[in-house]
Amino acid sequence: NAGVTQTPKFRILKIGQSMTLQCTQDMNHNYMYWYRQDPGMGLKLIYYSVGAGITDKGEVPNGYNVSRSTTEDFPLRLELAAPSQTSVYFCASSPTAGGAFFGQGTRLTVV
Amino acid sequence: AQKITQTQPGMFVQEKEAVTLDCTYDTSDPSYGLFWYKQPSSGEMIFLIYQGSYDQQNATEGRYSLNFQKARKSANLVISASQLGDSAMYFCAMREGRYGNKLVFGAGTILRVKS
């Protein structure tokens, strides 16, 4: 019973590098989300998707891109990494109505 | 505009006592959902309880209950008989609209249970 799976769990990037955070869910949920959590803070919504082919910006989308080609997968792309993107990133999925289930998070450090 | 407000940055409670964590929200949509999540020091996000805006009864899940006061726009989490394992960060979250797509979070409250 995998739920929401994020990879990698940890990553160190150099300034200006790019990377993709992977997220996959096996619950056939329509909605998927990407959040970032800075130390001691709440979760800020980066992007979300209501189904394959449909994505929209959240509260803090700058510096990120997403795609949703399948129901299961919702990768988050960081282009030209900056120190301000050092954070813990959470992917989540939810049914049309109801609570969201979260992945274990990816701890990203940009140096 | 801040949609979810958690005014208690930190709380202490004695083991076996009850504790209330505050949450107020702001929305003009008549249909919305309210959620509470727990984040222990290990970092995972654990879903605790859900309250729909049209639900007549306050939600309960084991030792967790949600004190929903619609007119005051508050959705406080009550934890009864606190345990040491309840020490964690607690987040209130809201989703607007019956099939609302954005799930937004408050800043959180750190709860410490004392033995």
Residues in chain B with CB shorter than 8 Å from the CB of A9 are none
Q: How many CB atoms lie within 10 A of CB A20?
A: 14
Task: Name, in order, each residue with C-beta under 8 angstroms of A22's C-beta and a sequence gap of 6 or more.
Answer: A5, A6, A7, A8, A73, A75
Structure confidence at residue A39 as a pLDDT band (50, 70, 90): confident
Q: Which amino acid is at B88?
A: A
Can you say whether residue A52 is alpha, beta or left, with left for phi > 0 and alpha for psi between -120 and 50 degrees? beta
Residues in chain B with CB shorter than 8 Å from the CB of A58 are 102
| Helix/strand/coil for A84 | helix
Mean pLDDT taken over chain B: 92
| Residue A41 pLDDT exceeds 70 | yes
Q: What residue of A is the nearest CA neighbor of B98? A: A97
Q: How many CB atoms lie within 10 A of CB A70?
A: 10
- Report yes or no: B42 at the A interface, CB cutoff 8 Å: no
Prior bond of A8 cis (ω within 30°):
yes
| Residue B1 pLDDT exceeds 60 | no
Structure confidence at residue B83 as a pLDDT band (50, 70, 90): very high
| Residue B96 pLDDT exceeds 80 | no
| Residue B78 pLDDT exceeds 70 | yes
